[in-house]
Amino acid sequence: MDQSNRVYFPFTAIVGMDNAKLALLVNAVNPLIGGVVLAGDKGTGKSTLVRAFAQVLPKQPVAKGCQFNCNPFNPLEMCDYHAMLWSRGERIDYELRKIRVVDLPLNATPDRVVGSIDVEQTIKSGVVVFKPGLLAEANRNVLYIDEVNLLEDYIADLILDAAASGWNIVEREGISFKHPARFVLVGSMNPEEGMLRPQLLDRFGLYVPVEASADPNERIEIVERVEEFAKDPISFYRKWESYEKQLEERIARAKEIVKDVAMDRDLLKLVATTIIKLGIKTHRAEIVVTRTAKAIAALDNRLKVNINDVVKAMELALRHRLKSKPFEEQQKKLDEVFRELAGEKPERGESEARSGGGNAKSGGNPGAMGSGANNRIEARLGNFDEKSASLPIDVSLPRIEDSTTGFGRGSRNFKSVGIATLKGVAIDAIPPVKHVIVDVDIPATIRASVAYKPSVPIAVDLQNIRVRVRKERIPVLNTIILDTSSSMTIGKRISLAKHILKKLIEDSYVARTYVSLVIFRGLSASTISWPTRNVELVYKLLDEVPVGGSTPFTSALAEALKHLKAFKTRFSNAKLVAHILSDGGANIFLSRNPINEILDLAEEYRKLNAKVIAYNTQSNYLRILPDYLKIFVDAVNGTYLNI
């Protein structure tokens, strides 16, 4: 049990979640596997599992008094001081410490992550002293990031650099320092909030979807155990303590023998062949599968890997590597390959889906194609050939002009830079502007004081004070308003619209912006997706959008307005963009005066300072009805594109 004043739910008392448990355990056995991502809906027990995991981790030798948790028996895992002692042949005293889980909060600053100036010691000594950060604490431990997909890019970059090299190298604020940073990276996330950056996702060795149990008996057991724990945590833990100790001993034993576990070359060839069949391009896949299979065998106290170990290892290590690029179709599914390994034939439905026969997505939906008269009035976007559509214009996300904003590095969100804002990441430190001393950068102030009077004790005066310059990410929402009425089926307009939308969504993925989707058809508009960063989900939903019926244009504008207002309430500094794809016609309105209705809605868009871009798909068609789309765009001073 944790010796602090907190008692965590026992790891062995958690019901189900077998794959997630195994993924954590094999990483404890061999940290070189590279960590794990637990991805699932909120309330499925991901964080509870990780907190509990800390209690079954065994002890390891650590150099006594070392802030960096140095390995006293391996010079490659030592800080400079202990490496110097090792080179001299001097004895390094050590103690046994439990491997622990170090939390990295989403609001952590770069100073807290990589380390910074120790203000107290620097003031006392007059010499700049380094204060270790979270990466030092995480060395030879587990670094846990809850909601890892929401982690700021600049923090993720720092962690990636350390994870790739095994060292934290600090070259900033007058500090030049390095220390070992070898840790098991564990992250949990809710895919509804968007997926991880590909660079960060590939860095994790394993990926495990976590779902709520569908077994009523299991769910009852979960409730009973949680209630029992809440009633008396200490008694509940003691009830499971013997099982916790057994698992801790099992992990310690596995760590000792894992280096001696053998894997036949035939099994290794099977792994390589399977990975090639799956179309996975990274060599990290074979390495992680091999290490995971050996760790599974070691946990079972075996010195030889069998086929079951390999299959389980592939299930854990390959799922997030099936696509080398965002939105790329998977060549084969894992379960299909596993059936092939077992000598089973693919199911009939899967063969038809791969060969292009049938409508795999229609299922029993009476609104799908294939039901007589409904074919004439109902369709699905996925049934149109988007490859036959050409783009006469260059479609990409607009650059929102603003004197205080611009794109960050590469293709990130918009940024704003300010002084004394107290928001965002600190990127520099400068003397106060107009003597406004707000958000003082203490390390920079101390460094300036030392530089100003290096031979005397530090004395901070006005000319040495430095305040922070901060860069803040500005969230961007791209709300897509798609006309799916019957008129959009003429001349492959819907195919062209779909092609444009997918390009916009792909751009949103790169820029890490939010996306929402509204469609309008029949008598009203409907929301397909509220603002989300899970743009791949929106991308897939496009193929399920129904088509046919009338054109309720103003209803769509009103529905999209809800998205924009809600997003602006959540992020007061947000940039809003509405993309409208329509043929411009409308025949269903909310009132008897369509023009006034459109102008009133336009006024609401102007109040939100929303940028509007319209893509007219009926540019070469003889128009009978007024072009309501053009009227709206002109009223908001937007951009009107004929495609």
Report pLDDT for 380. 36
Assigned domain for 218 exists? yes
Q: Last residue of some domain: 246, 269, 292?
A: 246
- Say yes or no: 116 and 72 in one domain: yes
- Say yes or no: 566 and 611 in one domain: yes
The answer to whether 284 is a known catalytic residue is yes
User: What are the CA-CA distances from residue 359 to residues 377, 488, 492 (Å)?
Assistant: 17, 22, 20
List beta partners, residue 131.
116
Cβ proximity of 240 and 12 under 8 Å? yes
- Reported as a single tens digit per residue, the pLDDT across 26-39 is 998 998 888 899 98
- Say yes or no: 290 and 182 in one domain: no
Report pLDDT for 282. 81
Residue 491 has pLDDT above 60, yes or no: no
Assigned domain for 406 exists? no
Average pLDDT over residues 347-366: 39
- Say yes or no: 169 and 78 in one domain: yes
Place of tokens 């050590």: 94
Strands (E), 167-290: 167-172, 175-180, 184-189, 206-210
**Which of 283, 287, 151 has its CA nearest to residue 295?**
287
- Say yes or no: 41 and 148 in one domain: yes
- Say yes or no: 508 and 438 in one domain: no
Cβ proximity of 503 and 510 under 8 Å? no
Q: Can you give the CATH number for the domain in which 628 is found?
A: 3.40.50.410
- Reported as a single tens digit per residue, the pLDDT across 3-51 is 455 778 899 899 988 999 999 999 989 988 888 999 888 888 888 898 8
Query: Which position among 219, 284, 339, 412 bears the catalytic label?
Result: 284
Sheet holding 575-582, edge to edge: 524-532, 514-521, 476-483, 575-582, 611-616, 639-642
Assigned domain for 367 exists? no
Strands (E), 115-197: 116-117, 130-131, 142-146, 167-172, 175-180, 184-189
Q: Which of 111-115, 323-327, 545-549 has the lowest mean pLDDT?
A: 323-327
List beta partners, residue 417.
471
- Say yes or no: 200 and 285 in one domain: no
- Say yes or no: 503 and 596 in one domain: yes
Assigned domain for 318 exists? yes
End-to-end CA distance of the chain: 66
- Say yes or no: 32 and 181 in one domain: yes
Report pLDDT for 388. 39
Residue 377 has pLDDT above 60, yes or no: no
Report pLDDT for 264. 93
Cβ proximity of 400 and 577 under 8 Å? yes
- Of 360 and 488, more confident: 488
Q: Can you give the CATH number for the domain in which 275 is found?
A: 1.10.8.80
Q: How many domains are there within the chain?
A: 4
Assigned domain for 4 exists? no
Report pLDDT for 433. 73
Q: How would DSSP label each residue in 314-357?
A: HHHHSGGGS-SSTTPPPSS-HHHHHHHHTTPPPPHHHHHHHHT-
Phi/psi at 418 (nearest 5 deg)?
Answer: -150, 165
- Reported as a single tens digit per residue, the pLDDT across 510-557 is 677 888 888 888 888 888 888 887 777 777 777 777 777 788 888 889
Across the chain, which distance is largest between two alpha carbons, in Å? 92
**Which of 467, 462, 500 has its CA nearest to residue 482?**
500
- Reported as a single tens digit per residue, the pLDDT across 554-603 is 888 999 999 999 998 888 888 899 998 887 677 777 777 888 888 999 99
- Say yes or no: 497 and 468 in one domain: no
Q: How would DSSP label each residue in 462-498?
A: GGG--EEEEEEEE-EEEEEEEE-SGGGGGGGHHHHHH
Report pLDDT for 225. 92
Report pLDDT for 385. 42
- Say yes or no: 229 and 272 in one domain: no
> Among the ranges 95-99, 162-166, 445-449, which has the highest mean pLDDT value?
95-99
Q: Which of 90-94, 184-188, 395-399, 572-576 has the lowest mean pLDDT?
A: 395-399
Q: The pTM is what?
A: 0.69
- Say yes or no: 449 and 496 in one domain: no
Assigned domain for 126 exists? yes
Computed on alpha carbons and rounded to an integer, the radius of gyration of the chain in Å comes to 29
Q: Can you give the CATH number for the domain in which 77 is found?
A: 3.40.50.300
- The total number of residues shown for the chain amounts to 643
Q: Could you list the residue range(s) of the whole structural domain that residue 94 is in?
A: 11-246
Distance CA 283, CA 185 (A): 20
Q: Last residue of some domain: 224, 246, 268?
A: 246
Assigned domain for 45 exists? yes
Angle subtended by helix axes 18-29 and 307-317, to nearest 10:
100
